[in-house]
Structure 1
């Protein structure tokens, strides 16, 4: 294999994307005769066919290195695994990931060999993530790659290939080193964008900002948001004639109102649609029950609703283990929120546990503080459409594995 050409291609790529330099030079190149292309694995090894290296120009090889490095630092393999992508959908995911990466290859000198997959190729708008493209895209293309072709490798879709080496053998990087390189790359993307030396695609900046965002325990965040909702309700004290004032004895001829503080009533809305895993939902519900007790909500004040496209059960429970999670159909949390609003006494705080694959009401329910716990990875896990959460609700992302 022409190693001088490989080195020249790396330098070419690093000169045009300097923020990717460390990641570009971290990959070990492995020659695989008759591979017919190039691919990467999860240990950051780049597999190339020596004959193809001879055929491609330095610009084409360098552009492909930038493309594959994008798969690695954005952890497309890990995201595919989180989304539950299996062998049957791996080819679709690879195209969705290609569209995400290629959408951000903004340098005019980049020359990817072959047909370039863009969001428009899948009939989608640009600027989205692979998780969205795989749900919204059209993958019935007459000229799509044959299943036996190498594709981008397990580094893009988490599906091992026969030619890939095991573990960190042959120059593969261990998980900790990959993590450090990804964080370092994200930091350099943001530094480069701030320096004004060149253009950085919006997608790269968004990825870097999310990659470096501090990880916070969702339990603390959710407890804080629930506490805010309860405090807001408890602070709505007002005068009422429903009970006599303690000052009534001083003016027996006048009926005085008493200052009344509302007691927060809490309801939990559980998404039991087909895209939700009962075990995960039950685990999160049990933790939410503990959080509610921690912020002062007694067992007698908690009601739980099981909802998919309709409200199936409404129960006042003393323990999360008593909740019957029935449903399994489509999802419409608008129906559930309307059902919660009809409860008597009306809940003052509503906690919604869902994967986000549901439409939401256009307006906030009157008299209720809503806290949404989004369960699972960003983008959802069930292959459906993820709807934007409403601006009027407090939103907390719940990682049930954490």
Structure 2
């Protein structure tokens, strides 16, 4: 792709020597002069101040935005905004994305304008420091970091990350993709661009390519957990229509009327399709031992409430730790509010024996258990079980499907 930015041309030309991987990635990006300095899903805009910086800082700042585009941060920002709705915090997402690309560039020995936000600083706020910058980059991606910062702010009731962003002079340099959403159609293409560029850098032995095996924030075609939860539960709750022998299909009524009018043979009878039986039943088991963050519970509650509305499911709440301490039928219009109003009982251990026995007595289409999976398991029940866990479980449960909700 040709370069149309006069301001960036010298720095981009220097990239071929300084960092072969960034130089290769830059070829797939549009470069334009414009105010302010920013990037979106396809283009980097370079402001007048960029041309006045020392060449090493120009290279580092161009690399910062090249990685934003290559890591698909604009598209992922739009996807997170769609997931979170009114809860979405663009400032926090930009902070997480900037910290990740800055840490990668500093590890690759590039210069950046100071002050620069650092992943190490954010992990210190979360009490999640890693052994090295490379280890941190391998573990964290922008979605996980954004959600972790939000959970910490909700826990502490403060805005430590917002204060940090103000102290560091964080500017809104990332524009969400206006065409973005749950899926990024370019993610697979950029996976290929990155793989080839990083391999070229690795072979050259310099620049960002040396970190190829330590970058955990690479773009990937991903399905948000909310959509997976929706699909798994909806399929379990769905009723397949069955033939109703006493009710004719509308198409048959029309054909039969046309045959009578034309005095031709009456077509063979076709029954209508209808749902049979009671409305579907959903058991929602909520682990109240303290392992589920409020932000995660809020998104989980919204999804379950939406499923209950769309499927007209009869929804039962079972709050538990080692025993079931609350069991009630939730009102059709108040499922989300009831789930978010967490029971006061906290602490203690976790056992799935009593809660799954209670759920089985309800004869639900499916039981959805929100938990960290750290507890005692019973024998496999007859009903389907979906384990919704806030992060990767330490061990695989002996039955059911696991849905990781982290990120």
* Deviations, residues 146-170 of structure 1 (Å, cap 9, x unaligned): 49967142426x8xxxxxxxx7xxx
Structure 1: distance between partners of 2:224 and 2:197: 21
What is the match of residue 380 of structure 1?
A: none
What is the match of residue 241 of structure 1?
A: none
* Deviations, residues 266-316 of structure 1 (Å, cap 9, x unaligned): 9632559761475532332467789xxxxxxxxxxx98335488754345x
8 Å contact 1:269–1:350 — kept in the other structure? no
**Could you tell me how far 1:321 is from its partner in structure 2?**
5.6
What is the match of residue 21 of structure 1?
A: 24
What is the match of residue 233 of structure 1?
A: none
8 Å contact 1:30–1:47 — kept in the other structure? yes
8 Å contact 2:22–2:66 — kept in the other structure? no
Shift of the 141–189 alpha-carbon distance from structure 1 to 2, 3 Å rule, reads closer
**Could you tell me how far 1:184 is from its partner in structure 2?**
1.8
**Could you tell me how far 1:200 is from its partner in structure 2?**
4.2
What is the match of residue 211 of structure 1?
A: 221
Residue 9 (structure 1) aligned with residue 22 (structure 2): no
Shift of the 53–19 alpha-carbon distance from structure 1 to 2, 3 Å rule, reads closer
8 Å contact 1:119–1:133 — kept in the other structure? no
**Could you tell me how far 1:81 is from its partner in structure 2?**
1.0
**Could you tell me how far 1:89 is from its partner in structure 2?**
4.1
What is the match of residue 116 of structure 1?
A: 116
8 Å contact 2:38–2:45 — kept in the other structure? yes
**Could you tell me how far 1:112 is from its partner in structure 2?**
1.5
Shift of the 102–45 alpha-carbon distance from structure 1 to 2, 3 Å rule, reads same
Shift of the 44–329 alpha-carbon distance from structure 1 to 2, 3 Å rule, reads same
**Could you tell me how far 1:101 is from its partner in structure 2?**
2.4
Shift of the 60–311 alpha-carbon distance from structure 1 to 2, 3 Å rule, reads farther
TM-score (norm 1): 0.56
Structure 2: distance between partners of 1:387 and 1:219: 15
Residue 48 (structure 1) aligned with residue 46 (structure 2): yes
Structure 2: distance between partners of 1:203 and 1:371: 35
Structure 2: distance between partners of 1:211 and 1:23: 21
Residue 268 (structure 1) aligned with residue 275 (structure 2): no
8 Å contact 1:307–1:336 — kept in the other structure? no
* Deviations, residues 224-269 of structure 1 (Å, cap 9, x unaligned): 9979xxxxxxxxxxxxxxxxxxxxxxxxxxxxxxxxxxxxxx9632
Task: Choose which of 363, 386, 395 in structure 1 pairs with 2:402.
Answer: 395
Shift of the 323–306 alpha-carbon distance from structure 1 to 2, 3 Å rule, reads farther
Residue 71 (structure 1) aligned with residue 68 (structure 2): yes
1:231-380 aligned within 5 A: 268-269=283-284, 275-276=298-299, 280-285=303-308, 304-307=316-319, 312-314=326-328, 326-330=338-342, 337-343=352-358, 351-353=366-368, 358-368=371-381, 371-372=385-386, 374=388
Structure 1: distance between partners of 2:402 and 2:235: 8
Gap runs ≥5 in structure 2: 130-135, 154-158, 204-208, 238-280, 288-293
**Could you tell me how far 1:189 is from its partner in structure 2?**
2.4
Shift of the 50–23 alpha-carbon distance from structure 1 to 2, 3 Å rule, reads same
Structure 2: distance between partners of 1:281 and 1:220: 8
* Deviations, residues 176-200 of structure 1 (Å, cap 9, x unaligned): 9x95554322123234567863534
1:201 counterpart SS class:
helix
TM-score (norm 2): 0.56
Residue 201 (structure 1) aligned with residue 212 (structure 2): yes
Residue 96 (structure 1) aligned with residue 108 (structure 2): no
8 Å contact 1:268–1:351 — kept in the other structure? yes
Shift of the 100–349 alpha-carbon distance from structure 1 to 2, 3 Å rule, reads farther
1:395 counterpart SS class:
strand
Gap runs ≥5 in structure 1: 159-166, 168-173, 228-265, 291-301, 376-385
Shift of the 101–278 alpha-carbon distance from structure 1 to 2, 3 Å rule, reads same
* Deviations, residues 193-229 of structure 1 (Å, cap 9, x unaligned): 6786353434646634x337899x84897389979xx
Aligned residues: 311
What is the match of residue 244 of structure 1?
A: none
Structure 1: distance between partners of 2:355 and 2:163: 50
8 Å contact 2:95–2:117 — kept in the other structure? yes
Task: Choose which of 143, 156, 160 in structure 2 pairs with 1:140.
Answer: 160
**Could you tell me how far 1:6 is from its partner in structure 2?**
0.8
